[in-house]
Amino acid sequence: MPAVSASQVRPVTASSGQRRIRGTPLLNSGTLYILDRRTLYALSPTDGGDRWMVTYEEDAFDERLCLHSELAVDERRIFISACDGLRALRRSDGEQLWSVGSPLRSGVTAVDGRVYANGDDLLAIDTEAGEIAWQVPTGGEHLTRPAATEDVVVFTNRVDGVVTAFDTDGEQRWTYRTETETRSPTIADGTVYVATAPVPGREGRLLALDIEDGEMQWNVETPSLKRGTRPVVDADAIYIGCNGRDNGRLVVRSSSSYSAAFSGVVQPRQMRSIIGIVSSRSTTAMSMNCSSRSLLGMREWRGTSPPASNTGQTPAIVYRST
């Protein structure tokens, strides 16, 4: 696995113009991280100013799109998963701290001193030392990015629709079969949320499973769900992005009741410019439109906030380019 030389890590001045992006921007602790094909950018979320960037050489990888688009962070590190393994970079300046050379199939999740990653096995990696704490076979090639808490890690097999939960010591807790194509899960308040696609491009369904035993709590029909979408859960609402015949739609559902009715469907006037939704609680950004491939005019960014919830907190921020 290639490390990054000092000449490849550098602070850069803010600039306007156009940048190609892949997948999901990540906003955390006042920095917005964005990955294109070979470059990771650390940006100011308020004006788009560049803080630093890391660029990998074209010949550093065997595959053209080796770097996976979903990033993860903890207090001091940002984690990049790739076809050749996992890299941990220092958040302050982008310097590489360690790497694990086990090929990965999806993005990773960092929780409570561990990074959870799916390759040939489910891996639990110590964030300080960069050493594998444990690994268990998963038996799948189309595994999604794990979701995790201090006690449990959950992932799905995108094609066969099996949702699997492991305790954080590597013991399997439960499995649930959706019998349909699935998306990456989200965990919030003792519930595992899984978006599924019974008829890809036409129909979707959102499932809520109990985190302790995998029992179904409720499920509800949705418009067709974007392949890369992962539910973003706030105190009062669940946000998911759609594609197919509903491309460009943002679905908002109340999370305070189990009724099948959605609380609203929002279709912004300029949906192509929507970059993501950032939950005020999880600070996780979600891609909204696979046709939105560029960030334009980084210094011209604006944030648009929905009305405050009944808890007095703003449930989400939608970032868009101008």
Number of domains in the chain: 1
Q: Is the pLDDT of residue 82 over 50?
A: yes
Residues of the domain holding 263: 6-320
Asked if residue 240 has pLDDT above 80, the reply is no
For residues 92-108, give the mean pLDDT: 92
> In terms of pLDDT, which residue wins out, 48 or 306?
48
**Pair type for strands 285-287 and 216-222:** unpaired
- The answer to whether the predicted template modeling score (pTM) of the entire model surpasses 0.85 is no
Output the average pLDDT for the chain.
Answer: 74
Residue 1 lies in a domain: no
114 lies in some domain: yes
Distance between CA atoms of 90 and 300, rounded to whole angstroms? 28
CATH code for the domain of 78: 2.130.10.10
pLDDT at 315: 37
The lowest-confidence range among 11-15, 120-124, 168-172 is: 11-15
Buried b (16+ CB within 10 A) or exposed e, 186-224: bbbeebbbbbbbeeeeebbbbbbbebeebeeeebbebbb
Query: Residues of the chain with pLDDT > 90: what percent?
Result: 35
Name the nearest CA neighbour of 152 among 172, 136, 138, 135: 172
Average pLDDT (121-136) is 95
